[in-house]
A and B are shown apart, each in its own frame.
Chain A
Amino acid sequence: MSAATLKRGLQALREEIDAPVASFFSSCMHCGLCAEACLFYTETGNPEYTPIHKLEPMRRLWQQEFTLLGRLQSLLGLSKPVTDAELEAWQPLVYDSCSLCGRCSMVCPVGNDVAYMIRKMREGMSASGNAPEGIMGATTRAVKIGSPMGVRFPAVQAQARHVKNDTGIDIPVDVEGAEYLMLMSSMEIINFPEYMESVARIFKQAGKTWTISSTAFEATNSGIQLGNSDIAKELVQRVVDAAEKLKVKTVISPECGHAYTAIRWEGPNLIGKPFSFEVKHIVEVLDEFRTAGLLKTEGLEEARLTFHDPCQLVRRGGVIEPPRNLLKMVSQNFVEMEDNGKMNWCCGAGGGVSANEDAAELRLTAFKRKKVQLESLHVDTLVTACANCRMQLEEGLEVNQMDMPVVGLTEMLAEHLVETPDDEASDDKIKIPAGD
């Protein structure tokens, strides 16, 4: 990677400007509605966090170079060029105060997809050396070590051993011909080991073959959060190589929102060709098991619980019903929060915000929106399907002295699995990895 300069940053921005971007900038009336949809504005009252304002340097570049009037103004010396200092000043707006949740994109009266443009703006920020250190560090670790949190494969193996000890189930590694390739997020490996165990038990009951890959276990794509398509592509390619080598039919994105967007939607576009396999979020797969009658559960959660929609599932991924279908299977007091589904408020920590130390205070301020949503519901338990959301929710609840467990949906389902008598003894349905 060559050194980051303003020149490279501006060039990256130019390459990102396409017809949708031009139509969006052309149409903005400065009505301010996007601010009302953004929790970074609503919870701080700071007008600088107005979503469309976060794109101002990119808008000026477009105006100056991609419109006739702007080019004339530039020729006459009437326009103010975008400077490095300006991009630096925009760093807190483009990274700290945006989780790419896309809520603003849903309310814009002229139809501007603001989140689509912030994603692009980050390419220019990163290429000009104006990305936050936290996300750059995470990205460097992802490239060099294999995971943004510095998790190496032995840590995954250690967890696999715990699962084996606790349940007797072998975690399949590098099994060629398995139906599913299971990705994990570092958050899950480090903080939520119950995820791997839950998946192992559910897939065993469903009789489905799956595997993890020793070369591509990480689902998080820091390259996208940073705004560096070259790195993002490299990280996607790892998964593609593993999936093709193992000849899986489906790659499963774990309980993580942005990881899903990264591999499901950006992935093929980053590597420049369609995938030869399908990509599904774990809740989509589990809902398919449910429909096929492969998911047998017993008992219902009695606690009053609600579901926090990860932004990338509902607004950027189209996964709204599957988690609800699954929740209703194992609970009797499921209530929806206000603005649920595609308009649900973001947790405040996605899209690289949680990896960015500069945003640590701001993201907890943004959590106040979730607090208000939760307080009006009087629920006992909060369920979600994103490890990153879950970390933020747990921290936010703790800071606000709200005593409420946050549970991953997969884990909740696994707790209600019907145990068959031979579960303890037999590993027939799970392929034992060769040489492990």
Chain B
Amino acid sequence: MNEVNFLLWVRGIGFDIALAIFVFGIMLRFMEILWLGRKPELAAVRGNGVASGMRTVFSRFLPADSNTLKRSLFMVVAGYGFHIGLFVVIFLFAPHAELIESVTGLSWPTLPSPIVDFFTVLTMLALMALLWRRLTHPVLRFLSTGEDYLMLLLTFLPVLTGYMAFHHLFLSYGWMLGLHILSVELLLIVIPFTKLIHMFTLFMARWYSGFMAGQKGVQS
């Protein structure tokens, strides 16, 4: 397979397959969760679960309390760095936005490439920091499974290959861009079936938590 064929495949059939698995997988996971249902609350509730559920969906983007923040500052800083960096890189890089517009018709302003470049480096540094933490902190080392490390790697690859393609490092632009797209496709395929599904299910988790707490009059 030459460079052109490789690029054509990852941009064509490869992308279609990955996207199909991604969308099907997410729907499957949502159904797997929702079909389990839950029992109605029979106790006399204090408050509106709906308002509280909505609030918790957003409030958990912020640290819960100063004590826990202090105790977990490294994870919080590296975690924010990674998530903000990744958001900027994915959505505010002009070529990405153009791709999204060509598929969905939705468009928004983007950032100049040097700024996105900065966030790319930030994202990679944050991921490395998270890896280091996972390897050295007693709780994280204890909790971590093969999946945890594999997901760090699979998340790192698209960022790294994107950075290398943009800067024309190592391989020709075409090959590197192809690898970049391939690594994204790999990520799309694993998201529904790994802990990376949290990007969608965390909204349900927060909703349920906030809803149940709100019924008891607890601001969670």
Contacts and interface: CB of A to CB of B under 8 A. Distances in A.
Interface of A: 17-24, 26-33, 35-37, 41-42, 45, 47-48, 50, 52-53, 66-69, 105-113, 116, 264-269, 272-275, 278-279, 314-319, 338-339, 342-343
Contacts, number: 174
Contact of A24 (B72, B193, B205): B205
Contact of B46 (A36, A66, A318): A318
A32 B43 contact: no
Question: Which 10 A-B residue pairs are closest in the complex by CB-CB distance?
Answer: A318-B217, A111-B206, A47-B142, A268-B42, A20-B208, A110-B202, A36-B71, A23-B204, A32-B139, A26-B201
Contact of A113 (B143, B202, B212): B212
Contact of B208 (A67, A113, A267): A113
Given A106-B64, A111-B206, A269 B36 contact: no
Nearest to A113: B209
A45 B202 contact: no
Interface of B: 28-29, 32-39, 41-44, 46-47, 56-57, 60, 63-65, 67-68, 71-72, 75, 79, 137-145, 148, 193, 195, 197-198, 201-202, 204-210, 212-213, 216-220
A68 B28 contact: yes
Contact of B42 (A21, A45, A269, A278): A269
A53 B42 contact: no
A110 to B, nearest CB: 4
A248 to B, nearest CB: 15
A272 B43 CA distance: 10
23 contacts: A18-B38, A18-B39, A19-B34, A20-B212, A22-B32, A22-B33, A24-B205, A26-B204, A27-B201, A32-B140, A41-B139, A67-B32, A68-B32, A108-B60, A108-B209, A111-B210, A264-B43, A267-B43, A274-B44, A315-B218, A317-B216, A318-B216, A319-B217
A50 B41 CA distance: 29
B20 to A, nearest CB: 16
Nearest to A72: B193
A436 to B, nearest CB: 33
B119 to A, nearest CB: 21
Contacts of B34: 19
A14 B78 CA distance: 36
Nearest to A22: B33
B144 A27 contact: no
Contact of B75 (A33, A37, A108, A113): A33
B43 A274 contact: yes
Contacts of A113: 208-209, 212-213
Contact of B201 (A23, A35, A47, A275): A23
Contacts of B145: 30
Contacts of B220: 105-106
Given A18-B38, A19-B36, A19-B37, A110 B43 contact: no
Contacts of B39: 18, 269
B157 to A, nearest CB: 18
Contact of A32 (B75, B204, B212): B75
A230 to B, nearest CB: 16
B187 to A, nearest CB: 15
The B interface is mostly helix, strand or loop, or mixed, namely helix
B212 A30 contact: no
Contact of A111 (B60, B79, B195, B219): B60
Contacts of B33: 19, 22-23, 26
A17 B37 CA distance: 9
Contacts of A22: 32-33, 36
A274 B60 CA distance: 32
A265 B216 contact: yes
A430 B47 CA distance: 35
Nearest to B217: A318
A190 B44 CA distance: 32
Contact of A48 (B38, B46, B142): B142
A29 B208 contact: no
Contacts of A52: 143
A53 B140 CA distance: 11
Contacts of A47: 138-139, 141-143
Contacts of B143: 30, 32, 47, 50, 52-53
B218 A23 contact: no
Contacts of B142: 47-48, 50, 53
Contacts of A319: 217
Contacts of A267: 43
Given A30-B148, A47-B142, A343-B64, A42 B205 contact: no
Contacts of B32: 22, 66-68
Nearest to A19: B36
Nearest to A28: B195
A52 B207 CA distance: 19
A109 B60 contact: yes
B209 A111 contact: yes
B215 to A, nearest CB: 9
Contact of A31 (B36, B46, B63, B75): B75
A405 B197 CA distance: 51
B42 A107 contact: no
Nearest to A110: B202
A23 B207 CA distance: 10
Contacts of A67: 29, 32
Given A32-B143, A275-B44, A111 B208 contact: yes
A32 B64 contact: no
B144 A30 contact: yes
A348 to B, nearest CB: 17
Question: Which of B35, B37, B140, B207: most chain A Cβ within 10 A?
Answer: B140
B79 A31 contact: yes
A244 B204 CA distance: 39
A273 B208 CA distance: 22
